[in-house]
Structure 1
């Protein structure tokens, strides 16, 4: 390291047991599980946001921005599926969230606001910390961004944007999800500079109520954008553009269905799964049962099926089946879907299968985007009064325009995950370097491991990973 300029002394390195990079849901659940374990340990979470437990997903403050799963599916405790349901019941009984009555369902079937879910995660972390402090454990939230990470046989050293340095016995990349809007491609296109954020209701309130709005992306983030526009009082036309023009299916509450994959171990490839799933959905329809019932049994098998598939099979799935999987598996909450259906019926909303080719410069206040409609070779320019970026998540760390991913890749401390999805790691979360060697002190969890498990973003998936990784980290001590 070069000598500090101006004769300044090199800042002292602070020390901790576990360094967690990212304080969204992944980092918070890992900290919670570490605090629940016997023994005393000092945990530091590096998160620029003011609060832990929220990240981008649970920072939304509007009541209309709800989870896309009901309470019974969203517990942060992998050993207690009813944890969120009980917490919600107590919260409602105490006078919180009076709007819950509008859903007219049992507490287990409620779709809570994402902001309220963030409060729940924070409370469970606070409870774990209160118990752990009696054993001498501690948790510190450092509001800064990690920009450099170095490892050796004894531990990990982190350097923060503000210059502070930390040393720990182990570090965990719990970075959560990177918005596709923050990738180098989106930055260079200029999309970020002109587009509104899908959750920025205050910005949307400054629009003319009859403004024409263009939305890039048709997934769950687009549903949130529609909710934001509606709550901002927008009444104008909305056009949505995405490569396939597929909309999320609405999440319903189907009855239980037999776990057909447990009875069919011969099903190993994505193609075999697709054929059998279609057959099961046909059987359900014949019996008058919602097709979502068979599909919901697949979740617990996703990691096994993905890990045992060949590279060719995975590539084929990503290339051909991924859009349909995303729209059917990652479904919209009923409230968001009801708004979408209303806007369609009013003729205010239109959906187009088209890919964004770039922005068109203009001297007026209009937003112009160049698109290529599906099945066409020529491009078309579409004009609107405002543009919203709902392009979703970027899982390829090679495209993420942030200093830490760039440094880790450049130094060979991490390698791209399968098919470029996230980063490579072993089955227990130890990061693999460019030579495919497992790190002794550097780990990852949650969305960065999508290449390994495919579904590595849902609350239940992250909660299970957090518990397993906490036990592995404790064993290092």
Structure 2
């Protein structure tokens, strides 16, 4: 093959792309793999590039391994890392290794080491992986596979191409760059920029999910001690993740539950039973994860819309829970009166030279807008799954060329159950695949580490068959 032609071209070198490469390298056979990633390091992406110890995983080590066949993989790696003197702060928590919530930067190191081990194994049977830095901006069908164009006009041809683009932050989409938002938002992880704020400055955070918890930690690390106002449409925030005991997998035995409404009713009943027995309500909830993909895929579009419209905010706050450290900081700030959480919609941010920001909101249930004064604001409004709203070259081009189409409810992009992307004609591609967050519409939960790891293993096996 020419230097610009590879067997597997992976667009995105964060968690999704790195785990796919890892699984491909482990399989017998000679393959040339290339990962397109603009960052200097693979395996981190935005989520695991954080360097502050306070930015931790929102799941404990026992839940976050990247080996589908060995759930204890991260715990085992972490035990060795601690024994070698790494992350000395962990010993102060006095917890079993499996119950620790590692810093996200350390998790990125773990992923990198697993990828390096796979690279050495792949080399033994002739497979290679190359990291090409740059942003993918266009993709076109070629005689054999597809041709990718990078932002420096270089091109690479792949026999098969995988969209492992990860998550697009809502803060980088067009509606957050409109004239209504005239003041630049601080990055939730931008601690250095936050250090430039007056310690007593007034800060408004838009969005109350896990990114908001990270933003609070960033402000704390930056030395901020002033008032913080959080705004979200429902005024909810993540529950703290605890370590509940095992609970019977009620969905494994009751196949009559097929719709989101049936699931909600049954889950409430299970949680009431648990609390009546003195057991944490999180125990029944944690059994649901293994069945989410099945329940979501068999629901009708009408049922899915009902879930997204009426249940989603509560599902997110109960299911996507905060690590204990972040939850403790949130509770402390609430107790001190420094933090307020308001159910309201952001309408705009007005900025005039030499004057405080004016954040225009409309409270939930109100008809009139009002203003909140602030010295800075942070956009923590989460993830943009609708690719039609993502202001990046590659999603725009893929949609314009008809190589992809929006997924169910415009969540990510459409694909068959094995990850083959469906184009505008509805037919699955023979050479374009996707995994991870772009498949949100197919599986609902397609972002957590266990979900991505399982998809990577299954997709690697399929790609090997396609290439053969």
Fold shared by both chains (TM-score > 0.5) = yes
CA contact (8 A) 2:183 2:349 kept: no
Q: How does 1:130-141 map to 2 (within 5 A)?
A: 130-141=120-131
Deviation at 1:117?
0.2
Answering whether residue 257 of structure 2 is matched by residue 267 of structure 1, we say yes
Query: Distance in 1 between the 2:99 and 2:49 partners?
Result: 22
Q: Report the Cα distance in structure 1 between the residues aligned to 2:355 and 2:153, rounded to whole angstroms.
A: 41
Q: Which residue of the other structure, out of 4, 16, 39, is the alignment partner of 2:6? A: 16
- 1:209 is displaced (CA, Å) by 0.8
Q: Which of these residues, 224, 229, 238, is aligned with residue 234 of structure 1? A: 224
Give 1:13 deviation, angstroms: 7.4
Greater shift in the superposed pair: 96-105 or 408-417:
96-105
Q: 1:149 aligns with which of 131, 139, 146?
A: 139
Q: Residues 388, 261 of structure 1: CA spacing in aligned structure 2 closer, same or farther, 3 A cutoff?
A: same
TM-score by length of 2: 0.98
- How far residue 363 of structure 1 moved from its aligned partner, in angstroms, is 2.1
Unpaired stretches in structure 2, ≥5 consecutive residues: none
| TM-score, structure 1 normalization | 0.96
Give 2:295's match in structure 1, choosing from 301, 305, 309: 305
- Name 1:469's counterpart in structure 2: 459
Shift of 1:75: 0.4
Provide runs of 4+ in structure 1 moved above 4 Å.
189-193
Given that 1:147 and 1:160 are in contact with CA atoms closer than 8 Å, whether structure 2 keeps it comes out as: yes
Cα-to-partner distance string for 1:151-202 (whole Å, 9 max, x where unaligned):
2462011011101000111000000000001111112246496111011111
1:294-373 equivalences under 5 Å are 294-373=284-363
Residues 56-67 of structure 1 mapped to structure 2, 5 A cutoff: 56-67=46-57
Could you tell me whether the CA contact under 8 Å between 1:151 and 1:442 is conserved in 2? Answer: no
Give me the whole-angstrom Cα distance separating, in 1, the residues matched to 2:129 and 2:144.
Answer: 21
What residue in structure 2 maps to residue 276 of structure 1?
A: 266
Instruction: Name the SS of the counterpart of 1:254 in structure 2.
Output: coil
Gaps of 5+ in 1: 1-11
Cα contact 2:183–2:350 (8 A) shared by 1: no
Q: 2:19 aligns with which of 29, 42, 54?
A: 29
Where 1:301 maps in the other structure, the secondary structure is helix
Q: How many angstroms apart in 2 are the aligned matches of 1:348 and 1:442?
A: 49
Does the CA-based 8 Å contact 2:180-2:350 persist in structure 1? no
RMSD: 1.1
The answer to whether the 8 A contact 2:62-2:99 is kept is yes
CA distance in 1 between counterparts of 2:141 and 2:25 reads 24
Structure 1, residues 65-108: CA drift from partner, whole Å, max 9, x if none? 00000000000011110100010000000000001112221000
1:113 is matched with which residue? Answer: 103
1: CA distance, partners of 2:179 / 2:91: 44
* Distance of 2:213 and 2:188 partners within structure 1: 9
Map 1:392-403; keep pairs closer than 5 Å. Answer: 392-403=382-393
Residues 152-171 of structure 1 mapped to structure 2, 5 A cutoff: 152=142, 154-171=144-161
After TM superposition, give the deviation of residue 136 of structure 1 in Å: 1.5
Task: Pick one of 89, 93, 102 that aligns with 2:79.
Answer: 89
Q: CA deviation at 1:299?
A: 0.2
User: For 1:40, which of 30, 38, 44 is the aligned residue?
Assistant: 30
Q: How far has the Cα of 1:361 moved from its partner?
A: 3.1
Alignment match, 2:113: 123
Q: What residue number does 1:176 align with?
A: 166
1:420 deviates by 0.4
**Structure 2 Cα separation of the partners of residues 39 and 368 of structure 1:** 60
